[in-house]
């Protein structure tokens, strides 16, 4: 039996009113703890430059080296403008995946929800180890579980805002010990509270399987869990099929990122939208149309339209028409945008 309501930052909303939903976005994230050196040492001076047309191409290749690019939380007006564009395009709901370690700010999420007219579902749990304070890095599985469950049952940081998901649960490659405990805590909390989970896998094709194994061994339920970021993690169709057969939701959440260079793992060829749609089409052909989710994962400033980026409406404006051109039926598009997110979020 699915629950009839879903928690949002403005309170419970009827599941039937969720509409078109993007399951992996950010509104308040500060990604500065994940700053990387640029590909060329000679470019280090560019790290402190503002975002301009003159350096935008460099920035696309070195997005995590520009300090001004990594604190999305500073761009409230630009975010709100792009959220209003999403609403105008037909979007109804976003799942905000900013969790502990990267500036989860429920007060800002409430403001965005009120001003945009969108439903905003927030999360709990822990991002990757490099973003965490020592107290979190040293916390036990039991302590992490208690924090997650308390958020779900009582509200976040003394507010009445309850998360609708556990996630995104951050995993590095190789997996840090703190991240292993975080996965276990997410699994235990899921089994206790019947809350859906979002896993950010390590950047290796084997990582989703390792992450899922640890999660399931701790009691997690794959059928109510998402493996995110597949467009930068799994490139082979046989590997993708193996993952889909575990029962997880498969998520293509980097729509709008059209550059093959992936700074965080240069050996990986980042997929473009056409390739993402081809992989989605393959999953549909194999009978997994009920287990596919999509999003943009907006998490840096240059992804906002203010800076020439794609914003939050890109999928509706460009990817959906491309899906139709590539033979994906409207009924399956509706599943991907509406019924599949609702199915994931109404875990009970």
Does 223 map to a domain? yes
> Distance (Å, rounded) from C-alpha 343 to C-alpha 253?
17
Environment class of 327 (CB within 10 Å of its CB; exposed 0-12, middle 13-18, buried 19+): exposed
Whether the per-residue pLDDT at 164 is higher than 70: the answer is: yes
CATH label of the domain that carries residue 219: 3.20.20.140
Does 280 map to a domain? yes
DSSP state of 254: -
* Sheet arrangement for strand 249-252: 123-124, 165-170, 197-200, 225-227, 249-252, 292-294
pLDDT digits (tens, 9 = 90+) for 206-226: 999 999 999 999 999 999 999
Q: For the chain, state the CA radius of gyration.
A: 19
Closest to 335 in 3D by CA, of 277, 297, 296, 292:
292
pLDDT digits (tens, 9 = 90+) for 258-316: 999 999 999 999 999 999 999 999 999 999 999 999 999 999 999 999 999 999 999 99
pLDDT digits (tens, 9 = 90+) for 224-252: 999 999 999 999 999 999 999 999 999 99
In this prediction, residues 8-19 reach a mean pLDDT of 98
pLDDT digits (tens, 9 = 90+) for 46-92: 999 999 999 999 999 999 999 999 999 999 999 999 999 999 999 99
- Start-end of H helices in 235-339: 237-244, 273-285, 314, 320-325, 330-334
pLDDT digits (tens, 9 = 90+) for 41-53: 999 999 999 999 9
Does 160 map to a domain? yes
Does 276 map to a domain? yes
Cβ–Cβ < 8 Å for 62, 38: yes
The pLDDT score that the predictor gives to residue 245 is 98
Residue ranges making up the domain that contains 208: 20-35+70-345
Does 107 map to a domain? yes
Does 204 map to a domain? yes
The pLDDT score that the predictor gives to residue 1 is 62
Does 48 map to a domain? no
Does 40 map to a domain? no
Domain count, the chain: 1
Whether the per-residue pLDDT at 28 is higher than 90: the answer is: yes
């Amino acid at each position: 039996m699915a629950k009839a309501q879903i928690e949002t930052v403005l309170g419970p909303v009827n599941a039937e009113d969720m509409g078109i939903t993007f399951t992996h976005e950010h509104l308040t994230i500060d990604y500065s703890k994940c700053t990387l050196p640029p590909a060329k040492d000679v470019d280090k001076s560019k790290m402190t430059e503002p975002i301009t047309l003159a350096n935008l191409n460099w920035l696309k290749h070195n997005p995590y080296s520009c300090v001004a690019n990594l604190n999305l939380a500073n761009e409230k007006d630009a975010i709100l403008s792009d959220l209003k564009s999403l609403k105008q395009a037909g979007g109804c709901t976003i799942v905000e995946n900013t969790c502990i370690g990267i500036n989860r700010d429920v007060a800002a999420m409430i403001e965005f929800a009120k001003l945009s007219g969108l439903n905003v579902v927030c999360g709990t749990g822990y991002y990757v180890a490099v973003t965490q304070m020592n107290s979190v890095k040293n916390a036990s599985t039991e302590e992490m579980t208690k924090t997650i469950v308390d958020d779900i049952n009582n509200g976040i940081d003394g507010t009445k805002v309850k998360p609708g998901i556990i996630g995104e649960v951050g995993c590095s490659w190789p997996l840090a010990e703190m991240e292993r405990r975080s996965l276990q805590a997410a699994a235990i909390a899921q089994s206790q509270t019947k809350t859906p989970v979002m896993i950010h896998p390590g950047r290796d094709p084997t990582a989703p399987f390792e992450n899922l194994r640890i999660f399931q061994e701790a009691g997690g339920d794959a059928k109510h869990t998402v493996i995110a970021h597949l467009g930068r993690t799994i490139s082979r169709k046989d590997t993708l099929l193996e993952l889909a057969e575990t029962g997880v939701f498969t998520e293509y959440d980097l729509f709008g990122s059209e550059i093959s260079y992936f700074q965080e793992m240069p050996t990986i060829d980042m997929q473009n939208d056409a390739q993402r749609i081809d992989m989605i089409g393959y999953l549909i052909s194999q009978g997994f149309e009920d287990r596919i989710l999509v999003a943009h994962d907006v998490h840096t400033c240059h992804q906002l339209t203010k800076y020439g980026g794609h914003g939050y409406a890109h999928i509706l404006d460009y990817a959906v028409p491309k899906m139709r051109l590539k033979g994906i039926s409207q009924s399956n598009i509706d599943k991907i945008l509406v019924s599949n997110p609702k199915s994931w979020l109404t875990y009970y």
